[in-house]
Each structure stands twice: as structure tokens, then as C-alpha cells.
Structure 1
């Protein structure tokens, strides 16, 4: 096949992902990890039982940046994407390394529309499903952590001839770690670091580079269940994309985001977090804004 520079591929990008609609669904700047997903209390596992988390995400962009951060001249470019994802979490009674064994699955429904260069496309359906397992620790009443391993499965619809794809058509493996500090009437902070290792898209012989993603949140507890602060993510691609095993120089993406974030907990297991993020410092990726809403429902 003909090798394309990532910037030219971005001219026909589509957005989707296992959970996020902010992940590029074609090669040359994409990620199967939903950038910016996590917020406050991400690493504090609840007591043993089954839990359902609902994520809602809305992402919009009308700009794609090249490797120098300049906007590419793509006439009429606009992407709008919305996702609703159900995450099932099982906190088991089993112990490992002094912590609780956990397992989870994420089932995303994605609605995506893309316009670029006078053409348009849209698609709705199940995106790429994530499954994983981990171990969760409670070091104190305030400090909690999780180590885990996720796999993003190529379950979403993909067609190399279309602009709008809600699947990536390749497997990704994601080791991760989460650290949470929570104080009802003081500082609250969360950091989730994820490494993303992508396999090759068999339809295009394209392999996206390895990635580091850090989701973060920092705020102050008001003592009544509310936490107010900021949240966002840091994204760095630390190896080149490849086509047919040949590395593409200048293909590494980078971006970050920040925005207001809020959390409310009723003290009985029900939890809601929300944040609005704006991306900046973007290279070889789309640059836009997104809104996240997450709720936790105990059973």
C-alpha cells in the first residue's frame, strides 16, 4: 500500500473509542484509550459487590493540527461525537498482594458524524469493548490505589473506505495504575497513568505508536459531599507509527487538556462527577473540547 504521512491521514479522520468519543478512529494520531475519562475518586474501590458506572461524553472539533501545532487546511472539517458507556465492575472477596481482586467491562454506544473536504459520513452503534482486571488497595482512609491490565477489543464497526468509524480494527493492551487521595473537607487528588500498546490494523497494515496517557483531577472538599476543582489529561505518543513495519518519522501525537471539574457523593454509595475539558498544545491530532459525566450506582 502507499505510505501516507500522518497529517494527510488526519484529513479523513473519524472519532470514536472504547469509551471516549475523543479518540481518533483512524491511524496517524489515534488512540484506543478514551483521553480524559477519569475524574475524582478513580482509584478508591468500593466494598465487595457489583457496581454499574454510566459514562456520558460529548466531543466536538473543527480543527486538526500538524506536527508543529498548526491547523491543517481541511475545508469544512467538523466532527461531532457522543458516547454513552456502561461499565460493570465486580469487586471480589479474593485477595492478592494484600489488596482486593477486581474485574470490569466497558460497553460503549457511540454516535459519530464527520464532515471534511465536502464529504460527510455518520455511524451509530457499539464501539470497541474494554475488559480488564486489577488489584485495589486501601492504604488509609484517605489514600487508595489500583494496578490493573485492560484490553480493548476490536468489536466496533470499521471500514477503511469510510470517514466515520466507531471501531479501530485492532487490539490494544493497557497496563495502568491509579492513585487517589480523598478528604471530605480538604484536598482531593487523582492520577491515573496508562500505557497503551497497539496491535496492527490488518486492513491497512498500519500500527499506531505506543502511548502514555495521564488523567488527573485536583480539588477541595467542601465537607458536604461536594468537591470542586479542575481536571484533564496529558497525552504523549512515545514511538512512531508504522506502515508495513516501516516507521513514519514525525508521526508522534501529543496533547493535553484542562477544565473545571466537580464531584458529589451522597455518602450511601451514589456518586456523580462532571467536567468540561479544552485541549491545547496539540500535535498530529484533532484539537477540540469535551464534556464528561459519570455516575456510580451500587447494587
Structure 2
């Protein structure tokens, strides 16, 4: 296969395709339509620390906006483009009393509600509704008082509304299998480091016979605990698409997504057991995706 011409790449990004993933904090990101099923950068501090047995509720709130598309060289694609996505995603976590290989067995489900608007060259479309649901089992390890990790297998279901002819879609219309390894080092009076590493196996979109390439991505946060419940630092994500997309069985070259996001991040832990994280992140080093910025908040509350 020869390389996809730049005009084809731009058309790919702008057409049915700017299907913004739907999940915790929606964002536009390459693969089919320049998007991803997982909301890059959604996680923050405490991503690798499983709580004690019990039921927990989390609420992810996100706002994402972008006004440029980047091609395979990182240059701005010459189209008039703007996207705005707001989301709130409740997540239920059940940590059981069951131990597996010395780890706590847990299950979770995240149900995103999305409000999306896409504008391209004078055309615009808005959609609101249920996005793609994320669920799966997890094992939580506590290696020491400060070091924790989670090993999980997430599944992303094509539950969000999708139409191959639409400009904006809040679902991706294909399943994703996503192994997860998250690690947290927590010190209320010192260094805090969190990294949630994920690898996406994207299955085929039956409506378009398109299979997006596999993606490696990491949500990260680094901060310093002040000893009064507050942690101040930075956070963001790193994304690298590792395999080529395929359409009708043919490989699409020079279309792999890439991005780096960075910005301030804070956490507050209450003495009543709930905690709140918040961050702003700016995307850079983007390839074959939209480039923008996001505001994200996560609240965790025990029942």
C-alpha cells in the first residue's frame, strides 16, 4: 500500500469520524476518525491504589475543546475545525473480600453521559447521550504502606450512539479489550507518583469495515504532599499508536496517532474518606489527531 495522501488524511479526520470517544472525560483523539475509545488523561492521583473492601462511587467530570487538526508531520491541517465535548461519568466500584494471588478482587463499571459539538468548514452537529461503557475486573495489590498497584482487564462496549454518516458521534461502534497496569506511590508528606498504563486492542467497526490500530497510553501524575490533605503537582498523558489502521483488510500507512499532554494537577483528601482531584492539561506533539486542552475533575466517595 502507498502512503495515504494528505487530503485523504484530512478528510478522514474530519468526516465521520471525529467521533469523540465517549467515556469519563471525552476528547478527540487517531485511529478511525482521529479518536479513541478511552478518554486520554482521565485518571489522576490514586489511580493505582485500590481502597479497602466495600462499595465506592466515583464521578468524572470533563471539558475538552480543540480548534486544530494535526497531520502525520504534526502540521496543522488546513480546515476550519472546532470541537467541544463535556461529560459526566459516574463509576461504581465494588471491592470484594475475596483474595486472589494475595490481591483484592474488584469489579467496576463506568457509564459516561456526553454532550458533544463538532464544527467543520461551516457545518456543525451536536449530540447528547450515553457514551461507550467501560467495565471489568481488577486485582489490587498493597506492596507496602506507600506503594500500591492494580492489574485489570477492561472492556469498552459500543453502547454510544453512532452513525457512519454523521459529523459527530458519541460512540465508536466497536469493542475494545484493554489490559491495565496502574501503580501509585503515596506519601501525604512527600512524593506522590501515579502511572496508569493501558494497551488497547481495538476490534472492527462493522459499519465501516475499519479496524483502528492498537494504542499504548499512560495517564500520569507527579506531586508533593503538603501534609494537610493537599497534593500539588503536574499530570497528563502520553499516547503512541503502535500498529497501523486497516480498512477493508488493507493497511493504512502514515496514520498513527501520537500525543503528549501536560498541566497542573492537585488532590485533596478529606479526613472523612473522600478525595477530589483536578487538573488542566494541554496537548502537544500531536500526530493524526485533534490538538486541544482539557479540564478534568474526579471525586471518589465511599458508601
Structure 1 unaligned residues grouped into runs of 5+? none
Shift of residue 29, structure 1, vs aligned partner? 2.6
Match in the other structure for 2:71: 66
Is the deviation greater in 8-17 or in 196-205? 8-17
Which of these residues, 222, 243, 246, is aligned with residue 247 of structure 2? 243
Contact 2:54 2:95 in 1 (8 A): yes
- State the distance in 1 between where 2:296 and 2:54 align: 25
The one of 161, 172, 175 equivalent to 2:176 is 172
- Equivalenced residue count is 296
Shift of 1:25: 9.4
Is the 2:30–2:258 Cα contact (8 Å) retained in structure 1?
no
In the alignment, does 2:265 pair up with 1:261? yes
2:115 aligned residue (111, 119, 122): 111
For 2:198, which of 180, 194, 203 is the aligned residue?
Answer: 194
Alpha carbons of 1:35 and 1:229: their partners in 2 closer, same or farther (altered >3 Å)? same
Task: Provide the C-alpha distance between the structure 2 equivalents of 1:44 and 1:131, rounded to a whole number of angstroms.
Answer: 18
Match of 2:25 in 1: 20
**TM-score computed with the length of structure 2 as normaliser:** 0.95
**TM-score normalised by length of structure 1:** 0.96
CA contact (8 A) 2:40 2:219 kept: yes
Q: Distance in 2 between matches of 1:211 and 1:28?
A: 14
Contact 1:16 1:110 in 2 (8 A): no
What are the Cα deviations for residues 174-193 of structure 1, in whole angstroms up to 9, with x where unaligned? 00100000001000000110
In 2, Cα distance between equivalents of 1:216 and 1:24: 18
Q: CA deviation at 1:251?
A: 1.0
Retained in 2: the 8 A contact 1:15–1:79?
no
State the partner residue of 1:47.
52
Task: Name which of 7, 12, 23 aligns with 1:9.
Answer: 12
Verify: 1:291 aligned to 2:275, yes or no: no
Distance 2:64 2:200 in 1: 21
Provide the residue aligned with 1:158 in structure 2.
Answer: 162
Question: CA shift at 1:45, angstroms?
Answer: 1.0
Q: Deviations over 1:206-253 (max 9, x none)?
A: 110000011100000000000000000000000001001111010101
How far off its partner does 1:28 sit? Answer: 4.2
| Coordinate RMSD, CA, aligned | 1.3
In structure 2, distance between residues paired with 1:211 and 1:57: 22
CA positional deviation for 1:7: 3.1
| Post-superposition CA distance 1:95-145 (Å, at most 9, x none) | 001000010000000000010011100000000001111100111110000
State the alpha-carbon separation in 1 of the partners of residues 175 and 147 from structure 2.
Answer: 33
Q: 2:138 aligns with which of 134, 138, 144?
A: 134
* d(CA) in 2 for partners of 1:27, 1:117: 20
Higher mean C-alpha displacement, 133-142 vs 20-29: 20-29
3-state SS of 2:239 partner = strand
